């Protein structure tokens, strides 16, 4: 979601039918039309396979043994490649027991929370919305500071359906983002994607909503069918459609106020759920270091059915592991789903 400086001049809050609508300054009007079906079909390619990195880095060691051939029913962990963040590193990891997934998450070394970037954005996803020949990092960029993370492959002894998640996107927002008064505090967005990276890359920046291309706004705002809509979430949210992301479905009531802990966002595009996103403030993550139990978990609201077969999480957790000196943000308590059918194109 959009990184900002938290200034009132950046976004104005309006109420429309009981929801918040946010406008980008100097926005150019444009007609919104649905994305062509062929474009999304072409984007839904198999995820690129990447070998796991099982060696611990920067003081963060696996909590359990590394998953290898012959692991059997033992508890084990796998780690993906590390990426730099602040003065430390982050990487995706998974934990299995009895061949079944127990946890899928992001590990941050304690030092990763120091020396974090203070500029509003890394400039990866910007758009000259007012056509003045320059791109304002506050008003015309989205995503804060991001890291794309490969997920470790399932261990040889895994059983049942596979995890449906294909990669992860980690965003650091030093000043927060829209909506004003709700998420404009320093926080992390942790996206676990259900679709390949090519799908996200195909959602372009532009001058509509939260800097999404105007000809893709209708696809981003297409409602998720009731059968596949998680309990308590809106079917669509065009005002939160963002370039390089899609629409953000938020279950928090408008009167909830500024985020002070963690919450769960679903991402949607072309009527499909495309990611599950734990969102948490930097202060909340740091509090886990001194909190009793060092872990806070909350439910993951479920739809009546999932489109594709796989293991789906029923809780998400934020934690600190004293023995390893790292923080984690994870999906847990997986249950299997037989699925209904694979993802399909918009305009079906």
173-189 pLDDT, tens digit per residue, is: 999 987 778 899 999 99
Q: Compute the distance between CA of residue 279 and CA of residue 258 in angstroms, rounded to an integer.
A: 12
Model confidence pLDDT, tens digit, residues 315-333: 999 999 999 999 999 999 9
- Determine which helix (DSSP H) or strand (DSSP E) holds 201, and give its type and residue range: helix 197-201
pLDDT band at 60 (very low <50, low <70, confident <90, very high): very low
pLDDT at 70: 54
pLDDT digit string (tens) for 202-221? Answer: 999 999 999 999 999 999 99
Q: Tens of pLDDT along 112-163?
A: 999 999 999 999 999 999 999 999 998 899 999 999 999 999 888 787 789 9
Query: Model pTM?
Result: 0.80
Distance in angstroms (rounded) separating the CA atoms of residues 275 and 225? 16
For the chain, list the strands marked E by DSSP.
12-16, 19-23, 65-66, 76-79, 83-85, 88-97, 100-109, 125-126, 141-142, 145-149, 167-173, 187-193, 205-208, 212, 247-250, 262-269, 272-281, 295-299, 310-321, 326-337
Kindly report whether the peptide bond that precedes residue 46 is cis, defined as omega within 30 degrees of 0: no
Residue 107 has pLDDT above 50, yes or no: yes
> Is pLDDT at 34 greater than 80 in this prediction?
no
pLDDT at 69 over 70: no
Distance CA 3, CA 276 (A): 19
In this structure, is the dihedral angle defined by the CA atoms of residues 262, 97, 77 and 51, taken in order, positive or negative?
A: negative
- Looking at residue 158, its pLDDT comes to 80
Phi and psi at residue 284, to the nearest 5°:
-65, -45
Whether residue 11 is predicted with pLDDT greater than 60 in this model: the reply is: no
Average pLDDT in the chain: 82
Share of residues in the chain with pLDDT > 70 (%): 78
Lowest mean pLDDT among 37-51, 90-104, 260-274, 302-316: 37-51
3-class SS of residue 102:
strand
Closest-CA residue to 15 (of 319, 233, 253): 253
pLDDT-derived band at 297 (thresholds 50, 70, 90) equals very high
């Amino acid at each position: 979601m959009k990184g900002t400086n938290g200034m009132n001049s950046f976004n104005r809050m309006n109420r429309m039918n009981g929801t918040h609508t946010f406008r980008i300054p100097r926005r150019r009007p444009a007609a919104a039309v649905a994305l062509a079906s062929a474009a999304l079909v072409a984007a839904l390619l198999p995820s690129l396979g990447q070998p796991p990195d099982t060696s611990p880095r920067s003081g963060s060691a696996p909590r359990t043994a590394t998953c290898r051939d012959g692991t059997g029913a033992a508890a084990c962990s796998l780690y993906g490649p590390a990426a730099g963040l602040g003065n430390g590193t982050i990487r995706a990891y998974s934990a299995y027991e009895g061949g079944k997934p127990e946890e899928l998450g992001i590990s941050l070394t304690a030092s990763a929370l120091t020396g974090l970037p203070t500029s509003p954005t890394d400039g990866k996803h910007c758009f000259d919305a007012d056509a003045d020949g320059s791109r304002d990092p506050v008003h015309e960029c989205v995503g804060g500071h991001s890291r794309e993370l490969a997920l470790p492959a399932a261990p040889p002894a895994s059983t049942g359906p596979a995890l449906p998640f294909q990669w992860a996107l980690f965003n650091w927002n030093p000043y927060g983002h829209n909506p004003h008064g709700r998420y404009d505090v320093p926080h992390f967005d942790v996206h676990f994607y259900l679709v390949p990276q090519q799908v996200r890359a195909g959602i372009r920046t532009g001058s509509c909503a939260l800097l999404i291309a105007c000809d893709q706004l209708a696809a981003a705002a297409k409602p998720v069918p009731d059968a596949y809509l998680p309990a308590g979430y809106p079917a669509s949210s065009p005002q939160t459609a963002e370039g390089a992301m899609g629409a953000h479905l938020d279950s928090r009531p408008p009167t909830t106020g500024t985020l002070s802990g963690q919450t769960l966002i679903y991402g949607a595009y072309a009527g499909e759920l495309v990611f599950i996103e734990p969102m948490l403030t930097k202060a909340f993550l740091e509090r886990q270091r001194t909190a009793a139990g060092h872990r806070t978990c909350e439910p993951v609201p479920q739809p009546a059915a999932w489109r594709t077969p796989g293991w789906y999480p029923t809780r998400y957790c934020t934690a600190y592991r004293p023995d390893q000196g790292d923080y984690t943000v994870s999906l847990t308590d997986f249950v299997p789903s037989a699925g209904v059918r694979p993802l399909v194109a918009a305009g079906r």
